[in-house]
Amino acid sequence: MVDLRLFDTYERKVRLFEPLVPGKVGLYCCGPTVYNFAHIGNLRTYIFEDILLRVLRRNGFEVNFVMNITDVGHLTSDADSGEDKMEVGSKRTGLTAWQIADQYTEAFQADLTALNVNPPDIWCRATDHIKEQIEFIEDLESKGFTYRTSDGIYFNSRKLNNYGYLARLDVNGLKEGARIDTERQFVTDFALWKFSPPDEDRQMEWDSPWGVGFPGWHIECSTMSAKYLGDFFDIHCGGEDHIPIHHTNEIAQTEASRGTRLANFWMHGYFLQLSDAKMSKSTGEFLRLETLTKKGVDPMVYRYFCLGAHYRTQMSFSWQSLEAEETALRRLYQAAFDWGEPGTVIPEFMDRFMNCINDDLNMPRARAVAWDLVKSDADPGDKKATMLAFDEIFGLGIEHWQPEAVQVPDEILQLAEDRETARTEKKWQLADELRDQVLTAGYVIEDTQEGPRVKKA
Ligand code: AMP
Ligand code: ZN
């Protein structure tokens, strides 16, 4: 079998993937900030991570998959100012920040289930790990990487030689132009602990050696990934927006405290762009999975749509392209359904498929192999077995798909019956006429082994 190769943002190249411990993979994916529903852009990233998980498993690795829930500390501005998104959500809805977190965590998990996205082995919430985050910050403090301002404890990014390497940040260039309007000493310094603002009645706050407050956003991921996967593990994922700030700062904290760059591979899913509206959870209206299902679109159609672009390319959403994918997916389902019981996997097709998925998760090409399979004249049972094996990666639920029971009107069924009678009486011309009448009405008669079947044309 061809080796698995994955693009590593840190090295900016596709590298052979070899786990740090043979046979085992530690995988950490940044989870949602649960102050609102996930939009379909967020969900594209989780579908990419699910494909990665499935491909790792297909390669025989035992994966320990951890995902966090950001339920505190993610501020409305990436410059560590503004309000905590959870507290904003609380004001918007009238629920407590804790209720908000529970409600949107559940909604997020339901979206993942609907999309056939596998849950992690471990879910971890930032608010359940305050003690560990404080300990991490204390360690950074003892190593001289922190300083205090009037609003919090900050990480001193200039103390690290290679700060910003992941994003190839031109830190010296920044130094020239940077104007800082807070007490932060440098533009890339970031909050580890924020003090509760005196004029704000915060719901989420804790005692700490530095004063009552709450952790910054980045420290949760350095802390929880280390707790569940160790100081250096295999793969860390997130969306592309995490490269310059969130992941850059996670790496900085872990390098300063533990001396490792946290993960061996850094992988990023590129954005879904909306052509006709802004894709933002923090501004009013946005597209969520429910927006699609309310229009009658099956979540699997969205999953199939996402597989049509490589995870490292941005993708535009439009209703028109979603519709086209819906038609294609329906054809794929129907073809596999019509093949009947599975036979044996066809090795040549399986090899081609493995080449695609092990080539940095090239799902558009893997999809094309599936269509070649549909068109091939191999044994239907073997095609079915092969498609089901593909679907362990696609995750489209091909095995359980059933054609919708179309309500065929009685008069059409009568015409089909009359045609059958005409056939048994060898009245061929009449039989053909009746079949044409059925067709004109928008139905087709299929002759199957179990007798004729009427379907929508
Ligand atoms: P958030 O809930 O904002 O913390 O984001 C959850 C995940 O979705 C993160 O991995 C983000 O990088 C990712 N993400 C945010 N916006 C998009 C988008 N438009 N397309 C794809 N992924 C996104
Ligand atoms: Zn994170």
CA of 42 to the centre of ligand 1 (A): 4
Is residue 421 a part of any domain in this protein? Answer: yes
Examine residue 285 and state whether it is found in any structural domain, yes or no. Answer: no
Q: Directed axis angle between helix 299-306 and helix 319-338, to 10°?
A: 100
Sheet of 62-69: strand order equals 122-125, 62-69, 24-29, 233-239, 263-269
Among the three residues 355, 370, 400, which one is the final residue of a domain in this structure? Answer: 400
């190593």: which residue's tokens? 143
- Ligand 1 mean position to 271 CA, how many Å? 8
**What does the alpha-carbon distance between residue 314 and residue 238 come to, in Å, rounded to a whole number?**
14
Tens place of pLDDT per residue across the chain (457 aa): 799 999 999 999 999 999 999 999 999 999 999 999 999 999 999 999 999 999 999 999 999 999 999 998 888 887 787 888 888 888 888 899 999 999 999 999 999 999 999 999 999 999 999 999 999 999 999 999 999 999 999 999 999 999 999 999 988 887 655 666 668 889 999 999 999 988 888 899 999 999 999 999 999 999 999 999 999 999 999 999 999 999 999 999 999 999 999 999 999 999 999 755 555 666 556 899 999 999 999 999 999 999 999 999 999 999 999 999 999 999 999 999 999 999 999 999 999 999 999 999 999 999 999 999 999 999 999 999 999 999 999 999 999 999 886 678 888 889 999 999 999 999 999 999 999 999 998 888 887 766 778 877 7
- Could you tell me the CATH number of the domain that includes residue 73? 3.40.50.620
Structural domain boundaries, residue 442: 410-456
* Mutational pocket test of ligand 1: of 100, 241, 278, 279, the residue with most ligand atoms within 8 Å of the beta carbon: 241
Nearest CA to ligand 1 atom 8: 42
My answer on whether 375 and 442 are in the same domain is no
- Smallest CA separation from ligand 1 atom 19, residue: 41
Could you tell me if 74 and 92 lie in one domain?
A: yes
Nearest-5° Cα angle at 410, 405 to 411 = 130
Q: How far apart (Å, rounded) are the C-alpha atoms in residues 355 and 357?
A: 6
Residues 71 and 197 in one domain: yes
**Position in ligand 1 atom list of the atom nearest CA 45:** 22
Q: Which residues line ligand 1 (CB under 6 A)?
A: 30, 32-33, 41-42, 44-45, 70, 238-239, 241-242, 269, 271-272, 279, 281
Task: Report the separation in Å between the CA atom of 313 and the middle of ligand 1, taken as the mean of its atom positions.
Answer: 14
CA of 272 to the centre of ligand 2 (A): 19
CA nearest ligand 1 atom 2, residue: 32
Task: Residue 299: give its domain's CATH number.
Answer: 1.20.120.640
Which pair of tokens denotes residue 426?
């060898």
- Same domain assignment for residues 415 and 394: no
- Last residue of some domain: 400, 420, 445? 400
CA of 38 to the centre of ligand 1 (A): 8
> Do residues 135 and 218 share a domain?
yes
Residue 43 lies in a domain: yes
Q: What is the pTM of this model?
A: 0.89
Instruction: Examine residue 278 and state whether it is found in any structural domain, yes or no.
Output: no
Residue at 286 is within a domain: no
Indicate which residue's Cα is closest to atom 22 of ligand 1. Answer: 42
Both 31 and 109 in one domain: the answer is: yes
Fill in the amino acid letter for 139: D
Same domain, 219 and 177: yes
Same domain, 396 and 415: no
In angstroms, what is the span from residue 281 Cα to ligand 2's centroid? 17
Looking at all shown ligands, the one closest to residue 286's CA atom is: 1
Dihedral sign for Cα atoms in the order 31, 33, 35, 40:
negative
Centroid of ligand 2 to alpha carbon of 246 (angstroms): 6
Ligand nearest to the CA of 243: 1
Last residue of a domain, one of 357, 374, 400: 400
Residues 177 and 225 in one domain: yes
Domain assignment present for residue 287? The answer is: no
Is residue 277 domain-resident? Answer: no
Tell me the ligand closest to 250's alpha carbon.
2
- 321 Cα to the center of ligand 2, angstroms: 31
Q: Does 282 reside within a domain?
A: no
> Do 84 and 214 fall within a single domain?
yes
Same domain, 235 and 145: yes
186 and 92 both lie in a single domain:
yes
User: Which residues fall inside 5 Å of ion ligand 2, going by CB?
Assistant: 30, 221
Measured from the CA of 271, which atom of ligand 1 is nearest?
Answer: 20
**What is the tally of structural domains in the chain?**
3
